[in-house]
A and B are shown apart, each in its own frame.
Chain A
Amino acid sequence: MDSQEWQGAAYKGSKKYTQQDVTTANATGFGAATDDYMERGIDLNEQLIKNKPATFFFRMNSHAMTGAGIYPGDILIVDRSIRASNQKIVVAILNGELLIRRYTDTGVKKLLSAENKKCADIEIDPLASFAVWGVVIYCIHATL
């Protein structure tokens, strides 16, 4: 496929880095001491994406999770390959609607709770159509 060169399962960053890119090295190979310590710059993908084919992005569009530090407009990184366990923040499908909530499973009952006093917790009716879409692993929040 055309895209293979730049997309791998785990993001590996660019390996196309040569000595020619080290600008201070001269023809003799001697240069500034920093040359020996040159390396690839920081790549956010390495930190934020664990499993690329299972990672999806969403945008927060409500105040329901402000208590968890998630505000309207924030970007949410969701990994579908992580198991939804107790107390994780998840994207849930409840009666055909996508919701972001904190997930509680006590064994007796399941809860989707908002982190905002104005929003009530939702106890999941065993008859309701419910599924976890994915687990939220990061929230990108602009501070400006």
Chain B
Amino acid sequence: MGRGDILYSRYFIILDMIGIVDCNSFYCSCERLFKPDLLHKPVVVLSNNDGCIISRSDEAKIVGIEMGSPFFMQKKNLEKNGVTTFSSNYHLYGDLSWRVMETLRTMLPEGCVEVYSVDESFIDLAHIEPAALQSFTVSLKTIIEQWTGISVSIGVAPTKALSKVANKLAKKNKQITGCVLILNTEKKITQALQKTPIGDVWGIGYQYAKKLSCYGINTAYDLTLRTENWAHQELGGVVGARLFRELKGFPCIDMQSERVTKHMIATTRMFGNPVTTLTQLEEAVATYMARAAEKLRRQHAAARGITVLIVPKQEVKGSYYRHGPTKTASIRLPVASALTNELVKPALELVRSLFEAGKTYKKAGVILSDIVPESVIQGNLFVATPICGEKLAKGRALMEAVDNINFSMRGDILKFAASGTTRNWKMRQEMRSPRYTTRWEELPLLK
């Protein structure tokens, strides 16, 4: 009997439950871990290049700092309210994210943890006795906080979409729920759906929320009163139908083993300072390509498709600037490759074809696609393979050496000359905290 069948019967006890563990104001919590004086004070973290506000502590939410708002527009407001502002410190967040997920893996059987994003994981709780669910979830939360110093919210329900609903409600009512909410009866599920605005449902974005409210659907519960066919028609086909079933309590989105092989690898960044020359753009593209190629090799894969994108600055009315339309160009290599030098060359040709003199650029990026495992690279009958046999082996050995040195030295110590040496286009991170957990020379100090 599957999970759904049990729900169907009127007097059910749900046996198989799924939880989602979500870190509370994750980036802010990371910053506070080594700065305990900021506990209970308003804190925000900015996106790459100090662009927008991407994480807010509860105290910052209360003083009315909006999520996603541009930093330069909020600067005065932040100062006025005494909000401590940090540039993003992805070394720190990545390390603490790993610690949270690893703690979950230690507490749960193998294959029961699906890392969903940097601060969220789905957990399979089918092995926990229904009567013990509450106490187990609470102890899980306590242990994560004890071990890693990061506070989390946990929502538990029969399906992934419902566990998300539970999590949102747990977070909204911290005092009552203690950040843990379990939806294990039909009554509790119905109540939770009634309290959930439609825009808060997993996968319902701003546009869909607007559309649904025109149909009089304002809460998740309103949606469940419709039919599956209706959801299929109005909410983007299979995806919508699946969401509908999930909200009704029938699991349709299974736990996934962690995605080891990615199908696309993208590295895109905003520039610290606007870029006007082709040389600078080339340097940036070569640097991003080196980074993407390193990620590619780490998953033992090779790519055939290369896309380069650049974003010019566009002047709108007087002194206001904004992003212009993104310009892209792609190429398909005759043979898949994972060697930085083979990937950089075509990427540079692409960026040269895109560049227009006189324009100012804000952002650039590379995307690798058509990714295959390294072991099954197919030759091309009509092209004399540029590198094969011994030459390929040499190329791979070189890449391994480069990767090893960069890994052990932390950072781009060895790089291709195309990446440049001045790098004045590099990201702006004026308020970044020390990399407390990944660098010997930046360890937190004790008195």
Contact = CB atoms under 8 A, between A and B. Distances in A.
B147 A61 contact: no
Given A1-B115, A81-B147, A57 B437 contact: yes
Interface in B17-72: 34, 36-39
A98 B36 contact: yes
Contact of A91 (B105, B147, B258, B446): B446
Interface stretch (A14-22, A23-31, A34-42, A48-56): A48-56
A8 B103 CA distance: 10
A93 interface: yes
A59 B99 CA distance: 20
A61 B445 contact: yes
Contacts, number: 82
A96 B39 CA distance: 8
Nearest to A74: B446
Contacts of B143: 81
Q: Name the prevailing secondary structure of the A interface residues.
A: mixed
B307 interface: no
A1 B98 contact: yes
Contact of A61 (B38, B146, B298, B446): B446
Given A61-B446, A91-B446, A98-B447, A7 B148 contact: no
Contact of B146 (A56, A58, A76, A81): A81
A98 B148 contact: no
B391 to A, nearest CB: 24
Contacts of B101: 1
B106 A1 contact: no
B324 interface: no
Given A2-B298, A133-B36, A54 B103 contact: yes
A98 B103 contact: no
Contacts of A56: 436-437
A2 B445 CA distance: 30
A60 B446 contact: yes
Interface of A: 1-4, 7-9, 51-54, 56-62, 64, 75-76, 80-81, 91, 93, 96-100, 129, 131, 133
Given A9-B102, A56-B436, A96-B36, 19 more contacts: A7-B98, A9-B106, A53-B103, A53-B147, A54-B99, A57-B443, A59-B443, A59-B445, A60-B445, A60-B446, A75-B443, A80-B147, A80-B149, A97-B447, A98-B34, A98-B444, A99-B446, A100-B446, A131-B36
16 contacts: A7-B98, A52-B102, A53-B106, A54-B103, A54-B147, A57-B437, A58-B443, A60-B445, A64-B447, A80-B149, A81-B147, A96-B38, A96-B39, A97-B36, A98-B444, A131-B36
